[in-house]
Amino acid sequence: MRFIHAGDFHLDSAFGAISPEKAVERRQEGRDLVSALADYVNENAVDLVLLSGDLLDSEELFSQTGKAVAAALGRMKAQVVVAPVTMIFVAQTAFIGRWRGVITSMYSKPAPWKP
């Protein structure tokens, strides 16, 4: 079995420390990365893709990102499992839910924080 693990894409980050023009470029590079991952998966007969961590950077999602991720996930010939965690669990759950049947998601409630 061939598998790939990738995580913490943080798509649609605000990139507040760089110019708005560069931020647009960085966000597009993130979308392109997911597409390149799909190409790699298909070209190398990968059986399973595990995407863990924060796929998104916030609850705000650009429509271009949603479309790009949906297209990339839809092209992958491998089984895709998404394991969202931490910072925006609820937003990622809703985002992932749009593509039921394309991907499998692993949902778990975050452990309660104890000081």
Q: Which residue would you say has higher pLDDT here, 87 or 114?
A: 87
Q: Tally the domains of the chain.
A: 1
Q: Write down the pLDDT at residue 57.
A: 77
Which token pair is 68?
Answer: 């790009």
What percentage of the chain has pLDDT greater than the value 90?
37
Within 44-75, residue ranges assigned H as helices are 63-75
Which secondary structure element, helix H or strand E, spans residue 3, and what is its range? strand 3-7
pTM over 0.85: no
pLDDT in tens, 59-102: 677 888 888 888 888 899 998 887 776 555 555 555 555 555 54
Buried b (16+ CB within 10 A) or exposed e, 74-113: eebebebbbbbbebbeebbeebbeebeeebebeeeeeeee
Which residue range forms the structural domain that includes residue 88? 3-105
Coil, helix or strand at residue 69: helix
Task: Give the CATH number for residue 35.
Answer: 3.60.21.10
Q: Write down the pLDDT at residue 21.
A: 96
Domain presence at residue 112: no
Cβ pair 57, 10 in contact under 8 A: yes
**Residue 31: which of 65, 55, 67 has the closest Cα?**
65
Domain presence at residue 20: yes
Q: Which of 27-36, 88-97, 105-114 has the lowest mean pLDDT?
A: 105-114
Domain presence at residue 113: no
Domain presence at residue 61: yes
Domain presence at residue 115: no
